[in-house]
Amino acid sequence: MTAIASVYQHDVATYWNTERNPVNLRLGDVSGTYHHHYGIGEVDWSVLETPEDARDEAVIAELHRLENAQARFLLEHLGDIRPDHRLMDAGSGRGGSSIMANAAFGCRVDGVSISQAQVDFANEQAAKRGVSDKVRFHFKNMLDTGFEAGAFQAIWNNESTMYTVLDDLFAAHSRLLARGGRYVTITGCYNDVYGLPSRAVSTINAHYVCDIHPRSAYFRAMAANRLVPVTVVDLTADTIPYWELREKSSVATGIESAFLEAYRDGSFQYLLIAADRI
């Protein structure tokens, strides 16, 4: 078993090992909870009216509030989680969602990433919060973790499915989930109705070294791997305000216009999918 099993995975790991993007780090500095995903919810646009010397901090804090709201929304769909349960954060980034899950449920959480830099950072955050006995991050491949079958009550991917082949991913998750366990993902996917990926979606793929899947692929791969959807929420309209604010912020990366174009023209969707392991 190896954490990095292909040339592509090596490229992805290299990208995240060297990534020091202010849009991730500065937002996390607000509360010490560091994420690698986007945000949802209505924006408090009054932050743009803040006096100039404090405006940037106000915008950063608002973006962080929206990304925390996204993580909470995902965690709310994990089902009835007890302190004796065990959860897995697949593609755990710098660990924010895992730490929030432990705070919400009091349970054990294992995060996995093929980026050693992310794993080290996340374990440092868990230690700082005094939860490293319950929240642990591992340099492992989510497609082949080595964890025991049926060990987890819930598993989630927060914007990380686009780095995998979905059939391989859901087969791995199905093996690890207890019967009746819950799988949740929040992900961007391209809209089959519009055909192949649009130019904007292709731009996003190139930017993040990823391969965004069509919407239909999620449900097809879930059905093939004993995962039955129980909730599907289209969050596209809820994430557009986040991108509109981010485009006006000091941490804009230049990819914002591609996301906004793809969301607005309907070729790209932002979905939450929750499924039970049968």
Q: Which domain, by its residues, includes 40?
A: 7-277
User: Which pLDDT value is given to residue 2?
Assistant: 84
Q: Is residue 268 part of a domain?
A: yes
Mean of pLDDT values over 134-148: 98
Q: Is residue 14 part of a domain?
A: yes
Q: Is residue 2 part of a domain?
A: no
How many domains, the chain? 1
Q: Is residue 112 part of a domain?
A: yes
∠ CA 88-270-253, rounded to 5°? 90
| Domain of residue 19, CATH code | 3.40.50.150
Task: For the chain, state the CA radius of gyration.
Answer: 18
Bridge partners (DSSP) listed for residue 157? 185
Mean of pLDDT values over 78-102: 98
Mean of pLDDT values over 41-49: 98
**Residue 137 — φ and ψ, nearest 5°?**
-115, 140
* DSSP helix/strand/coil, 111: strand
The pLDDT > 70 percentage for the chain reads 100
pTM reported for the whole predicted model? 0.97
User: Which pLDDT value is given to residue 1?
Assistant: 67
pLDDT band at 87 (very low <50, low <70, confident <90, very high): very high
